[in-house]
């Protein structure tokens, strides 16, 4: 550990990542692990970026959407991390970043949906069903709900059931 810490202090992103992993897995010091993950991300280590996303999404009760956290999630989303894309999209969709941004949410949901993410497909259905940031389009909403429901995303089942019941977007 001392060797890695020495190299980490010299700015070596891989050593910073290894220090973070060691502190997280072997010493169980999440504060020190977070510190080294953050340093490694600042120096371009993508494995550390994924670890930070995991930390924010699974270790905290609520993501603190400040500018640093937004930057981390935007970087991870840009690198193709679907969890980051989805979390960031929902933060924009629900206004957790300080204000609702349906345009940003749509782009991220669309990117994740293109990778067959059923939750993103559901939210695209919601956006079209309610006209949130897009033109109201019940047919498109129905299509997104249907694809998501086929993948067993439960919220889509409810939404699709309502669409059938009211005849929205269907041929019934």
Yes or no: say if 17 and 43 are a contact pair by the CB < 8 Å rule.
no
Which of the residues in the chain have pLDDT under 50? none
- The CA-atom distances, in angstroms, between 141 and each of 5, 130, 156 are 52, 9, 10
Tokens matching residue 100: 């609702």
DSSP helix/strand/coil, 35? helix
Residues making up the chain, counted from first to last: 172
CA distance 89 to 112: 9
Residue 106: its pLDDT value, please? Answer: 98
pLDDT at 3: 83
In this prediction, residue 58 carries a pLDDT of: 87
Distance from first CA to last CA of the chain, Å, rounded? 66
Q: Classify residue 18 by its DSSP letter.
A: H
pLDDT at 142: 96
Query: For residue 41, which of 10, 83, 64, 72 has the smallest C-alpha distance?
Result: 72
- pLDDT at residue 171, rounded to an integer: 65
pTM of the model: 0.84
Q: Which of 135, 71, 141, 91 is nearest to 113 (CA)?
A: 141
């Amino acid at each position: 550990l001392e060797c890695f810490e020495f190299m980490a202090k010299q700015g070596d992103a891989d050593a910073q990542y290894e220090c973070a992993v060691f502190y997280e897995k072997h010493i169980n010091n999440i504060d020190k692990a977070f510190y080294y993950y953050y340093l490694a991300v600042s120096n371009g280590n993508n494995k550390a970026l994924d670890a930070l996303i995991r930390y924010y999404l699974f270790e905290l009760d609520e993501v603190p959407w400040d500018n640093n956290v937004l930057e981390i999630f935007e970087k991870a989303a840009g690198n193709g991390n679907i969890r980051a894309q989805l979390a960031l999209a929902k933060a924009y969709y629900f206004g957790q970043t300080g204000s609702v941004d349906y345009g940003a949410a749509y782009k991220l949901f669309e990117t994740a949906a293109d990778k067959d993410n059923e939750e993103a497909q559901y939210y695209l259905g919601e956006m079209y069903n309610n006209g949130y940031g897009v033109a109201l389009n019940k047919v498109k909403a129905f299509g997104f709900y249907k694809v998501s429901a086929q993948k067993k995303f439960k919220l889509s089942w409810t939404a699709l059931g309502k669409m059938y019941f009211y005849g929205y977007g269907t041929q019934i």
